[in-house]
A and B are shown apart, each in its own frame.
Chain A
Amino acid sequence: MTERVSVLETKNLVMRFGGLTAVNDFSISVPEGSIVGLIGPNGAGKTTAFNMITGFYRPTEGQVIFQGQDITGLPPHEVCRAGIARTFQNIRLFGNESVLQNVMIACQVRQKLPWWHAPLFLPGYFREEKEIREKSLALLDAVNLRSHADERAPSLPYGAQRRLEIARALATEPKFLLLDEPAAGMNPQESIELMDFIRSIRQRFNLTILLIEHDMKVVMGVCQYIWVLDYGVRIAEGTPEDIRSNPKVIEAYLGEEALEHA
């Protein structure tokens, strides 16, 4: 995995909450254009790692390097502006807004004209807003939600809400996308569709994707490289094949059931 340029690199990230070390010495390097995974049992510190990368937590120690730039400790909105977008484990859509508005809101970060152009009826703002609307509709097209554009976001079925959250993240024009358990709550058929969907958006939007996932079918099926966390410590890394046969991983994470299969 060293032949390609790494787009995101974390160097020895440590996150302590009081006496608890949630993540310790977390170093990964994500090659450009790849789909990689971060797995581990519940409470292993995966989401904490996400929160450090996206600026929600300020790491106690260590560095986050994105496209050669040190983004450690930047507030979340500036991390997003730099080109990192994320989704949430428990879906966080804007509940009182329509599906289209949800996507349009995320376009704001790339909007050039300041807000006061709107109340002053300056024509440029109308034009830009029309572009944003079209761009958002195109994104909804890409996730098969265009026909639901005017519905309120919470009225969508669960899987569609996940897709909307991804569309919303894509609207910020990211280079790097973090998906926190995208397959949670999906049935096997939906999971298979999700895998194709993740691959297709990577291709179409020229992304690098890092995902947290518990569904092993999805992780093994879609990721090219995987890191395994347990109790905040990285216990293994490698290709899906390596991980599958790694005894440490099987013991810590996949459990006895997996040992029987091995």
Chain B
Amino acid sequence: MNRTRDTILSLLLLGALGAFLWWADGHLDKYQIQVLNVVAINIILAVSLNLIYGFTGLFSLGHAGFMLVGAYVCAILILPASQKAATFILQPMMWPFSVMNAPFIVAVLAGGVVAAVFGFLIAFPVLRLGGDYLGIASLGFAEILRVVANNIVPITNGALGLKGIPKEANLWWNYGWCAVTLVVIARLINSNAGNVLKAIRDDEVAAKAMGIDVFRWKLISFTLGAFFAGVGGALLGSLLTTISPKMFTFLLTFNVLMIVVAGGLGSITGTVISGVFITILMEWLRFVEAPMHIGTMTIPGIPGMRMVVFSLALLCIILFRREGIMGMREWSWSGLFGLFGKRGEAR
């Protein structure tokens, strides 16, 4: 009985979300729609990082690198040839890239696949390392990709970046991909394969003794995470219509990491909740960067103030609720009813 109730409620929630998107598409202003789009992309990025870090226990800081790959591959595929010719002013674009073109969905997929290939290749040296060393190595890898993108001018247009990317990533594409990401990763995590990933996170030695090919499973998780990071990057590039290597610094990985940690390492629903909250808060908090008048005093606007507020918020989360919003649990209807219902039903 609870099961049918939960299914009905979940379908209702999905329907409500769909209706909201439909309404938002027609009624909200451009800025608000942009924020909604960023919410979806941030969820894609954060859930894919949670797969790598939260569920498999691989402390990877290479997300910005995978996003860069996805964004560039997608942008090169959807930029019209005329726009390419106009953008590449330092050096003309190299031949096969200058004429390549693909529909948006193919371009996003290609972005994900190429990012996954990079993830797969980088995994071989990097995944031999454990813990913090893996973090440093993957961070280094992301920086290398950024520097390379800055220097292969005939393909990436160097530091000038790519401009005039068709803005095809609308609400429906972004939320569609967001749904695909969530379904794929949630299905994987809730299957026995997901149990295996969590086992590797909990105790690698025991996992090996239980016949788990630890390296292979880490490789799967890392590559799949890289794929969705590439998809997220591709959507972001199309949403912003302009990309440059400068965009994909460590700060971008940090933002995603913040969402994951705040939501709870090892909780998909936690990541979704914190993805929504943090993205919206990030925009809303822009007012702290504007000049302020307190009484007769005028404080000039300080750019970067948002990040200070956010770092403080993250600090508070780590100090007072280290496991994040959801910890390792998942949000469920029965959990919600338990919260509001009798105390005894909470468990």
Contacts and interface: CB of A to CB of B under 8 A. Distances in A.
Given A93-B203, A97-B195, A119-B183, A105 B188 contact: no
Given A97-B198, A125-B191, A105 B203 contact: no
A108 B206 contact: no
Given A77-B214, A119-B183, A129 B209 contact: no
Nearest to A81: B211
B199 to A, nearest CB: 4
Interface string B275-287: 0000000000000
Contacts of A34: none
Contact of A108 (B196, B203, B205, B208): B196
Contacts of B199: 94, 97, 105
Interface string B209-222: 11111100000100
B192 A108 contact: yes
A94 B203 contact: yes
A102 to B, nearest CB: 8
A13 interface: no
B209 A54 contact: yes
A95 interface: yes
Nearest to A125: B191
A8 interface: no
A99 interface: no
A198 interface: no
B187 interface: yes
B191 A75 contact: no
A15 interface: no
Given A77-B212, A106-B210, A172-B210, A119 B202 contact: no
A101 interface: yes
Contact of A107 (B192, B207, B213, B266): B192
Interface stretch (A39-47, A84-92, A217-225, A229-237): A84-92
A118 B220 CA distance: 13
B328 interface: yes
Contacts of B328: 96
A147 to B, nearest CB: 16
B324 to A, nearest CB: 14
A94 B205 CA distance: 10
Contacts of B209: 54, 56, 76, 80, 85-86, 88, 92
Interface in B170-215: 183-185, 187-188, 191-196, 198-199, 201-203, 205-214
- Measured as residues with beta carbon below 8 angstroms from the partner, the interface class of chain A is 35 or more
Interface residues of B, number: 29
Contacts of B211: 77, 80-81, 106, 108-109, 172
Nearest to A115: B193
Given A85-B209, A108-B212, A92 B192 contact: no
A118 B187 contact: yes
B188 A119 contact: yes
Nearest to B213: A77
B187 A109 contact: no
A107 B191 CA distance: 12
A111 interface: yes
B208 A105 contact: no
A94 B192 contact: no
Contact of A95 (B188, B202, B266): B202
A95 B203 contact: yes
A129 B203 contact: no
Contacts of A172: 210-211
8 contacts: A88-B209, A101-B198, A115-B220, A118-B187, A118-B191, A118-B194, A119-B183, A171-B210
Interface of B: 183-185, 187-188, 191-196, 198-199, 201-203, 205-214, 220, 266, 328
Interface of A: 54, 56, 75-77, 80-81, 85-86, 88, 92-97, 101, 104-109, 111, 115, 118-119, 121, 125, 129, 132, 168-169, 171-172
The 10 closest A-B pairs by CB, nearest first: A109-B211, A80-B211, A118-B191, A92-B206, A115-B193, A76-B208, A119-B184, A94-B202, A106-B210, A119-B187
